[in-house]
Amino acid sequence: MIAAPRLAQRQAAFMAQVLDEGAPHPAGWGARQAAGMEVYRGNYRAALIEALRDTYEKTERWVGEEAFRAAAAHHVILHPPSSWTLDAAGAGFAETCADLFANDPEVAELAWLEWTMLKAFTALDCNPVDAAGFAEATAGFDEEQWAALKLEFAPGASTREVAHDLPAIWRALAQDALDYPDRLLAEPHALLVWREGERATFILREVEEGRAFTAMLAGMTFGELCQALPGGDPSIEAAEAAAMRAGAMLGRWLNDGLIAGLAA
Q: How many Å apart are CA 13 and CA 24, to the nearest integer?
A: 9
User: Residues 140-187: pLDDT tens digits?
Assistant: 999 999 999 999 999 999 999 999 999 999 999 999 888 887 789 999
User: Residues 101-150: pLDDT tens digits?
Assistant: 999 999 999 999 999 999 999 999 999 999 999 999 999 999 999 999 99
Q: How many Å apart are CA 255 and CA 234, to the nearest integer?
A: 31
CA proximity to 221, closest of 121, 143, 155, 115: 143
Domain residue spans of the chain: 1-104, 123-264
Work out the end-to-end distance of the chain between its first and last CA atoms, rounded to an integer number of angstroms. 69
Least confident of 6-10, 46-50, 53-57, 243-247: 6-10
pLDDT at 11: 55
CA proximity to 222, closest of 242, 194, 202: 242
The CA distances from residue 147 to 91, 137, 143, 152, 231, in Å, are 37, 15, 6, 15, 18
Q: If pLDDT is split at 50, 70 and 90, which confidence band does 1 have?
A: very low
Please, which residues have CB within 8 angstroms of residue 126's CB and are 6 or more apart in sequence?
Answer: 154, 155, 260
Q: If pLDDT is split at 50, 70 and 90, which confidence band does 2 have?
A: very low
